[in-house]
Amino acid sequence: MHATAKTLRQAGIFHLTADPLPLDGRTLSFGGRSVINFGSCSYLGLETDPRLIEGAKRALSDYGTQFSTSRAYVSSAPYAELSEQLTLIAGTQALAIGSTTTLLHAAALPALIEPGDTVVFDEQVHHSVQSVLPTLAHLGARPEQLPHGRLDLVEEIAQRTPGRTVFLADGVYSMYGDALPVPELHDLLERNPRLWAYIDDAHGTGGLGRGARAGCLANARCTRARSSCWVWLRRLQARVPASCAPRRSLRIWCSRRAAR
Ligand SMILES: Cc1ncc(COP(=O)(O)O)c(C=O)c1O
């Protein structure tokens, strides 16, 4: 990390501050020099959409800058509306909404993983997923790293370990850009009743297509798996098959069976 920071600093592209000009979402200006911003993670570019800006202004005057109460107790009304609307877009039954994907992984995984579960993770699954592993280990799960793309090893581990094996993967991997072979995963899930999967589909979700899905969940066979997500949370008496970061993406967890 320090070496990367040093290289970036030497290249003059570290900890920069953009000129205080109105932002258009595409370009930035440094010392008056305009450049195209290829570092934006706003894949849908909605932050400059006038309709959203107007909506945000209305919400600010109606609700203030924050609603500082735990959602375990009470939610502000716009959360329910947002959840309903996103549920329609995602074509699913319920959503959990968070301000970032990282926070959602931190909240969802400890609720889904049980003591004694073997948690196998692809070495390329996003860092935000991997950062929850110490917590899962602390809760009594056994994390095991897999070389990238080795679904065959997932099956081997699921068959040799007692109890549940939970596979953590990305629908489309951030660094390599390759997609999870969803039909293959689905076959694995069908063959191995103690195997479960949790998929971060940030890069497989966009603004177009059925359910705004392009990647993992666009796949018909995965849709079957997706509907089983409810099973995950049965012990919490909740039906929350998908989590959603309203900023830009949906994270869906896929699990083994259709809802029972
Ligand atoms: C696959 C994936 N998951 C999670 C994240 C983290 O997202 P957030 O910034 O919403 O926490 C990213 C960030 O780019 C990502 O690419």
Mean pLDDT of the chain: 78
Domain ranges of the chain: 86-252
To test the ligand 1 pocket, which listed residue (38, 126, 217) has its Cβ within 8 A of the most ligand atoms? 126
Q: Please give the residue that has the higher pLDDT: either 14 or 205.
A: 14
> Is residue 43 very low, low, confident or very high in pLDDT (cuts 50, 70, 90)?
confident
pLDDT tens for 209-223 read 555 555 555 554 444
Q: Please give the residue that has the higher pLDDT: either 252 or 16.
A: 16
CATH, domain 86-252, list 3.40.605.10, 3.40.190.80, 3.40.640.10, 3.40.50.300 = 3.40.640.10
**Long-range contacts of residues 204-208, Cβ cutoff 8 Å, at least 24 apart:** 204/171, 204/172, 204/179, 205/171, 205/249, 205/250, 205/252, 206/43, 206/44, 207/44, 207/46
- Residue 194 Cα, ligand 1 centroid: separation in angstroms? 28
pLDDT at 204: 73
Tell me: pLDDT of 255 over 60.
no
Count of positions (residues) in the chain: 260
Q: Please give the residue that has the higher pLDDT: either 128 or 21.
A: 128
> Is residue 208 very low, low, confident or very high in pLDDT (cuts 50, 70, 90)?
low
To test the ligand 1 pocket, which listed residue (47, 102, 121, 244) has its Cβ within 8 A of the most ligand atoms? 102
- Residue 39 Cα, ligand 1 centroid: separation in angstroms? 13
DSSP string covering 219-242, please? SHHHHHHHHTHHHHTGGGT----E
In ligand 1, the atom with minimum distance to the C-alpha of 99 is 10
> Is residue 39 very low, low, confident or very high in pLDDT (cuts 50, 70, 90)?
confident
